[in-house]
Amino acid sequence: MSAVEPSHISLDSVCCHVQGAEKSKLASYFEDKVEEITASRLHTLEGNEEDKKNQVKLEVYHDICQKLAPSNVLSKYMMERIPSTERLFQFRRTFASQLAANSLLQYALSIVERTPTRFLFCDTMGQILSQDFRSQYTLPNGLLDNLDMPFRMTRNITEFIGPFLLEGVFVPSFANVSSALHSSRNVVEHILYLLLRDEVMAWYISKSSNKSDQKIQEVESKLIEKIWSNVQFVQGRFEECSPREVKDAAAEAIEPSPTPIDIKVRTLVDASMSAEKLCMMPASYEAWL
């Protein structure tokens, strides 16, 4: 699937527009540099083999971020598109709230391959477009998998949103959308079942040579428990991302460090922005963008 509207553009296209051909070389540079350092001085690092390789990846990631991949590419592009400061601020607000809903779905549905080419948005209105969503399942049981990276929140995205909109729009929108879906769980449950059923069925049927109606019914009868397990998995994520209930507000107010009611969302945001986690993503993820 590709964008058909001129205003629909991917993060990859934005970076190519601003940086030119240099942007496309960074993924191979990351892999080559990690391999080079691993071969030359892995023995000088402390820790076990896996820890040493992680240190090398983190070092190369920081090197790219500091020297080769600026964090303001998206901001530069949008300033070209929307010169008006007031309009740009309104765009950023819409972008942040839309991104929150999209990020919730990425997390709840265990969406994979959130590469820059799949991070699509409307550069006139600020809508985030959900292109080519594909869930990660554990094999062979067909259950939704837990991913190390909750959703895409890389440097250019956070720099463009800014700390105030991240705290004031993204986090509350994420929690509120999650709360709305959780409070309507009886309605959402049936929609989720159909959505997850179609995806799991398509995967299983693609592995079968017999695609008759009878075979499809037999497959669905065998998978119904797994499909409902996946529905509960998604519903559980909506629940955990909803603002927690405060039983005694007065007691919490006088605590030295009260726990935020949206603590789960803040934890996910921290995880998605963590350099230690970002450097472990595949080179195709382009975590430095």
Taking only the tens place, the pLDDT of each residue in 162-206 is 999 999 999 999 999 999 999 999 999 999 998 888 877 777 776
pLDDT of residue 209: 65
- What average pLDDT does range 47-74 have in this prediction? 88
3-state class (DSSP) for residue 162 = helix
CA-to-CA separations, 84 to 79, 91, 133, 260, 267, in angstroms, rounded: 8, 10, 33, 35, 34
* pLDDT reported for residue 41: 76
Given strand 8-10, what is the order of strands in its sheet? 8-10, 119-122, 128-130
More confident residue, 87 or 44: 87
pLDDT, mean of residues 152-167: 95
Name the helix (H) or strand (E) containing 152.
Answer: none
DSSP 166: I
pLDDT at 23 over 80: no
Q: Measured between alpha carbons, how far is 181 from 188 in angstroms, rounded to an integer?
A: 7
pLDDT at 3: 47
pLDDT at 25: 86
- CA-nearest of 156, 148, 149 to 121 is 156
| For residue 46, pLDDT beyond 80 | no
Q: Cα-atom radius of gyration of the chain, to the nearest Å?
A: 21
Mean pLDDT calculated for residue range 251-267: 81
pLDDT classification of 77: cutoffs 50, 70, 90:
very high
3-class DSSP assignment, residue 86: helix
Pairing outcome for strands 143-144 and 128-130:
unpaired
Of 44, 64, 63, the closest CA to residue 52 belongs to 44
Angstrom CA distances, 257 to 248, 249, 251, 253, stand at 15, 13, 12, 9
What pLDDT is stored for residue 136 in this prediction? 83
Average pLDDT, the chain: 87
Q: How many CB atoms lie within 10 A of CB 154?
A: 25
Whole-Å CA distances, 146 to 107, 139, 142, 237? 9, 12, 13, 11
Per the CB < 8 A criterion, the answer to whether 285 and 115 are in contact is yes
Model confidence pLDDT, tens digit, residues 200-246 = 777 777 666 666 777 777 777 878 888 899 999 999 999 999 998 87
Q: Structure pTM?
A: 0.89
The DSSP letter of residue 5 is: S
Mean pLDDT score, 113-131:
90
